[in-house]
Amino acid sequence: MKKTPAFIILCAIGGLAIFSSTISKNPVLPILAQEIGATTAVIGLIAAASTVTGILTSLPAGLLSDRRGRKPVLIASGIVFFTAPLFYFLVQTTWQLALVRVYHGLATAIFGPVAMAYVADLAPTRRGEHLGYYSSTTLAGRALAPIVGGAILAWGPWQGVYAVCAIAGLLALAGMFFLPNLRQLESENPQPKPVEEKIPLRQVLGNLSILTTSIAEAAQQLAFGSLEAFLPLYALSVGVNKAVLGLLFGVQIGIRMLSRPIMGLLSDQKGRKLPILVGLVITATSVALFPQTTSLWVLLLLSAIFGLGLSIASAATSAFVADIAPPAGRGTALGFMSTIMDVGQAIGPVLLGALLVSISYQAGFAIIGAIVLAASVLFGIGAYEKRRQI
């Protein structure tokens, strides 16, 4: 199989996998948790359980894919995508639901960095553009999932959502078996001789550019997680109708989905560093401005700008890490970045929630924006330093 069909298959798998993952939690998870007696605080912990799995699993998954190949590790994630939804049917208590979420979190924790490494392997040139197209398909799955999930809930019980979730997971798993083994696909360009297992990990952890790029992406995810949790509450507090709350995130996802390939191509042509810096500054500024308005139209505009900032930076971060990582440690590097990203996404809502207990939305959102801006400064220092030869 040639590289182009393999890339198309991987994009389809990515869309199905992220659709399956997203529909399992949005909007059905809080409804299921509440039905079995979970309090508001416990619902938050249940929602965070899968993110914790990502923190613990992404780096080992990337490392394993460097050692054993991408395809078998992807298939392992596909098995979880298919089987995890089936366990929701057995849930009767909150701790059981939390355990299922921990298990389900393995799917995206493994799939995310390994699929990105697979795309990077397939695209030695135009890497940013290819990663952009791949990200757009996953964003399409993410955008479609809550619409489908909400429609199912409107017409029937929550079990129907997890049935669809399992079907999407099964289709993703089936597609993984059609992916070629990259070592056979690229037999005309033999892989370097295997190196000692600890060497790629040491090189990743010791590389300042990889670390600061990962922190930059984590700061963006911290901002995204904060907005995901508290922008709806702010909007309601200033009189925005519940019926249009979804538009705030729909606009953002739409902008990201349409712009990611373009921004990836731009990073291929103009370099990775400047787009990352520009994207971080746009993200930081838009976050700080959200609570400065009470107009729905301005909020929608800021949401679009925020999505554009995410797109500009994120289209370049994964490609930049893939570029500077040693080929034998590319999965490890992207797994490391995914781990740091998950830490940021988990911290965001917890931090902003704690801040909002004692300060205003304006001050809380400004602090989140300042954190993103600080990450841009850190990235600028790290990225423009003469990086270690690897």
- CATH 1.20.5.510 for domain 200-384: no
Q: Kindly give the residue spans of alpha helices, DSSP state H, lying in 24-39.
A: 28-35
What integer pLDDT is reported at residue 196 of this predicted model? 43
What integer pLDDT is reported at residue 184 of this predicted model? 56
C-alpha gyration radius of the chain: 20
In whole angstroms, what is the distance from residue 136 CA to residue 38 CA?
A: 35
In whole angstroms, what is the distance from residue 94 CA to residue 20 CA?
A: 21
pLDDT tens string 153-200: 888 899 999 999 999 999 999 999 999 987 655 554 554 444 444 455
pLDDT tens string 282-306: 999 999 999 999 999 999 999 999 9
CATH of 3-191, one of 1.20.1250.20, 3.10.590.10, 3.40.50.720, 2.40.50.140: 1.20.1250.20
What integer pLDDT is reported at residue 385 of this predicted model? 60
In whole angstroms, what is the distance from residue 38 CA to residue 233 CA?
A: 20
Where exactly are the structural domains of the chain? 3-191, 200-384
What integer pLDDT is reported at residue 76 of this predicted model? 97
The token pair at 324 is 């500077």
In whole angstroms, what is the distance from residue 15 CA to residue 319 CA?
A: 19
SS3 call for 389 = coil
Phi and psi of 196, rounded to 5°? Answer: -60, 135
Q: Which DSSP string do the residues of 191-211 spell out, in sequence order?
A: PPPP--THHHHHHHHT-HHHH
Q: Which DSSP string do the residues of 234-295 spell out, in sequence order?
A: HHHHTT--GGGHHHHHHHHHHHHHHHHHHHHHHHHHH-SHHHHHHHHHHHHHHHHHGGG---
What integer pLDDT is reported at residue 388 of this predicted model? 45
List Cα–Cα distances, 280 to 313, 321, 332, 351, 358, in angstroms: 6, 16, 24, 19, 27
Is the separation of the CB atoms in 61 and 73 below 8 Å? Answer: yes
What integer pLDDT is reported at residue 186 of this predicted model? 55
What residues of the chain score a pLDDT lower than 70? 1-2, 40, 183-201, 243, 383-390
Q: Is 40 exposed, middle or buried (0-12, 13-18, 19+ CB in 10 A)?
A: exposed
Q: Is it true that 3-191 and 200-384 share their CATH fold?
A: yes
b/e 177-194 (16+ beta carbons within 10 angstroms → b): eebbebeebeeeeeeeee
| DSSP 8-class letter at 189 | S
